[in-house]
Homo-oligomer: A and B are copies of this chain.
Amino acid sequence: MGSIAVEELKKLIPNAVIVRRTVPGLKDIPVEMKILMKNEGCDAGIALGWVGPTLTDKITYAVYSLALQLVQLEFEKHIIDVTVHEDEAECEEDLYRIAMDRVRKHVRNLVALLLEREKLSMFAGAGLRQGRPDVGPIVVKKDG
């Protein structure tokens, strides 16, 4: 999954500096991500994980995923979490296909999010120059 992500990223942002690390298990990702975020000053992260089908695996996924939220909130950076769950498909080939497709799609989503932010920032800057009578609610929409 890692090499697909790197390949897709290089296609979309050719001059991106990419730091890639392999850790033994899902629960080792959040602290590694924090260390890299802090030491390398990254703009975003992608976590790639494989989740087994048992209740223990699901709990592990919950714990990992919550810890990754904490890292995101601390650094105010997006970390896209691409997990493939073994109970999503019935054979290994289907799982493999799901994984490859999900990695590519999530990488594109992340890049869009990073580039869109720049546009948003320009817009917000313009808005500030024109003055703002009131600051209203945010709408964050998530497509189904």
Number of copies: 5
Q: Which residues of B contact A81 (CB under 8 A)?
A: 27
Partner of A42, one of B6, B21, B88, B137: B137
B56 touching A60 by the CB < 8 A rule? Answer: no
Let me know if A100 is at the binding interface, CB within 8 A.
Answer: no
Residues from chain B with a CB closer than 8 A to the CB of A35 are 76, 117
A40 touches B124 (CB 8 A): yes
- Residues of chain B lying within 8 A (CB to CB) of residue A59: 58, 61-62, 65
Residue of B20, B31, B55, B69 touching A77 (CB-CB under 8 A): B31
Which of A35, A49, A85, A144 has the most B CB atoms < 10 Å from its CB? A144
Give bound CA distance, A24 to B110, whole Å: 8
Residues from chain B with Cβ under 8 Å of A143 in the complex: 22, 24, 50
Known: A31-B73, A69-B27. A19 touches B139 (CB 8 A): yes
Q: How far is the CA of A90 from the CA of B107 in the complex (A)?
A: 33
> Are A36 and B142 in contact, CB atoms less than 8 angstroms apart?
no
- Identify A30's interface contact among B28, B73, B132, CB under 8 A: B73
